[in-house]
A and B are shown apart, each in its own frame.
Chain A
Amino acid sequence: MHDMSRPEIRAARPDPGPAEGEAQDLAFLLAQVARGDHQAFEAVYGQLAGPVYGVVRQVLRDPAQSEEVAQEVLLEVWRSASRFDPARGSGVAWVLTMAHRRAVDRVRSENAGSRREQKVASETVTEYDDVADIVETSLEGQRARRCLDSLTDLQGESIKLAYYGGYSYPEVAQLLGVALGTVKTRIRDGLIRMRDCMGVMA
Chain B
Amino acid sequence: MHVLTGSYALDALDAQERAEFERHLQHCPSCQAEVRGLRETAARLAIARAAQPPAQLEQRVLAATYRTRQLPPLPADRLRRDLGQTRLARLARLFAGRPAADQPDSSHGHRSDRRSDRRSDRRSDRRAARRSDRGRGSGWSNNWLRSPRLVGAVAAASVAAAVGLGITQVSTQHQLDSAQATSAAIAKVLDAPDARIEATSATAGGAVTVVVSALQREAVVTTRGMPSLSSSRVYQVWVMSSSGARSVGLLSSTAHIGELLASGVQSGDQIGITVEPSGGSSRPTITPVATVPVTA
Task: Scan B114-129; emit 1 where CB is below 8 A from any A CB, else 0.
Answer: 0000000111000000
A163 touches B36 (CB 8 A): no
The interface centre, meaning the residue of B4, B15, B43, B62 with most chain A CB atoms within 10 A of its CB, is B43
Q: How large is the interface on B (under 10, 10 to 19, 20 to 34, 35 or more residues)?
A: 35 or more
In the bound assembly, the distance between CA atoms of A155 and B60 in angstroms comes to 39
Least CB separation from A200: chain B residue: B40
Q: Which one of B70-78, B199-207, B223-231 contacts A?
A: B70-78
A141 touches B70 (CB 8 A): no
Q: Which one of B46-54, B152-160, B250-258 contacts A?
A: B46-54
B64 at the interface (CB under 8 A from A): yes
Q: Which one of B5-13, B209-217, B277-285 contacts A?
A: B5-13
What are the residues of chain A within 8 A of B58 when measuring CB–CB?
45, 49
Give B19-50 interface residues, CB cut-off 8 Å to A.
33-34, 36-50
A133 at the interface (CB under 8 A from B): yes
Given A75-B61, A79-B71, A81-B70, check contact A201 B40 (CB 8 Å): yes
What are the residues of chain B within 8 A of A65 when measuring CB–CB?
none
What are the residues of chain A within 8 A of B69 when measuring CB–CB?
79
Given A76-B121, A140-B47, check contact A34 B70 (CB 8 Å): yes
Given A134-B51, A184-B6, check contact A34 B73 (CB 8 Å): yes
Given A168-B13, A172-B12, check contact A202 B44 (CB 8 Å): no
B38 touches A162 (CB 8 A): no
Task: Scan A170-184; emit 1 where CB is below 8 A from any B CB, else 0.
Answer: 101000000001011
B3 at the interface (CB under 8 A from A): yes
Tell me whether chain B's interface is mostly helix, strand or loop, or mixed: helix
B40 touches A89 (CB 8 A): yes
In the bound assembly, the distance between CA atoms of A147 and B159 in angstroms comes to 49
In the bound assembly, the distance between CA atoms of A185 and B38 in angstroms comes to 14
Tell me whether chain A's interface is mostly helix, strand or loop, or mixed: helix
Give B149-181 interface residues, CB cut-off 8 Å to A.
none
Least CB separation from A139: chain B residue: B47
Least CB separation from B71: chain A residue: A80
Q: Which of B43, B62, B71 contacts A82 (CB 8 A)?
A: B71
A191 touches B54 (CB 8 A): no
A96 to chain B, nearest CB (A): 4
B286 at the interface (CB under 8 A from A): no
Give A128-165 interface residues, CB cut-off 8 Å to B.
131, 133-135, 138, 140-145, 147-148, 159, 162-164
B14 at the interface (CB under 8 A from A): yes
B39 touches A89 (CB 8 A): yes
In the bound assembly, the distance between CA atoms of A167 and B12 in angstroms comes to 6
What are the residues of chain B within 8 A of A97 when measuring CB–CB?
39, 42-43
A46 to chain B, nearest CB (A): 9
The interface centre, meaning the residue of A79, A138, A145, A172 with most chain B CB atoms within 10 A of its CB, is A79
In the bound assembly, the distance between CA atoms of A81 and B290 in angstroms comes to 45
Give B75-122 interface residues, CB cut-off 8 Å to A.
121-122
What are the residues of chain A within 8 A of B36 when measuring CB–CB?
88-89, 202
A187 to chain B, nearest CB (A): 4
B48 touches A144 (CB 8 A): yes
B65 touches A82 (CB 8 A): no
In the bound assembly, the distance between CA atoms of A51 and B12 in angstroms comes to 19
What are the residues of chain A within 8 A of B121 when measuring CB–CB?
76, 79
Q: Which of B14, B57, B64, B71 contacts A108 (CB 8 A)?
A: B14
Shortest beta-carbon contacts, A-B, top 10: A188-B6, A202-B37, A54-B51, A55-B46, A53-B53, A50-B50, A144-B48, A82-B73, A187-B6, A144-B44
11 contacting pairs across A/B (C-beta < 8 A): A38-B65, A54-B50, A79-B70, A105-B123, A135-B52, A169-B12, A184-B6, A191-B9, A191-B42, A200-B41, A202-B36
Q: A100-B10, A192-B34 are in contact. List 19 more A-B contacts (CB 8 A).
A: A34-B70, A49-B53, A49-B57, A50-B50, A51-B49, A57-B51, A82-B73, A89-B36, A92-B43, A93-B40, A144-B48, A159-B45, A169-B12, A170-B14, A187-B7, A195-B38, A195-B41, A200-B41, A202-B37
Task: Give the interface of B toward A (CB within 8 A).
Answer: 3-7, 9-15, 33-34, 36-54, 57-58, 60-62, 64-66, 68-74, 121-123
Task: Give the interface of A toward B (CB within 8 A).
Answer: 34, 36, 38, 41-42, 45, 49-55, 57-58, 63, 67, 70-72, 74-76, 78-83, 88-90, 92-93, 96-97, 99-101, 104-105, 108, 131, 133-135, 138, 140-145, 147-148, 159, 162-164, 166-170, 172, 181, 183-185, 187-192, 194-195, 198, 200-202
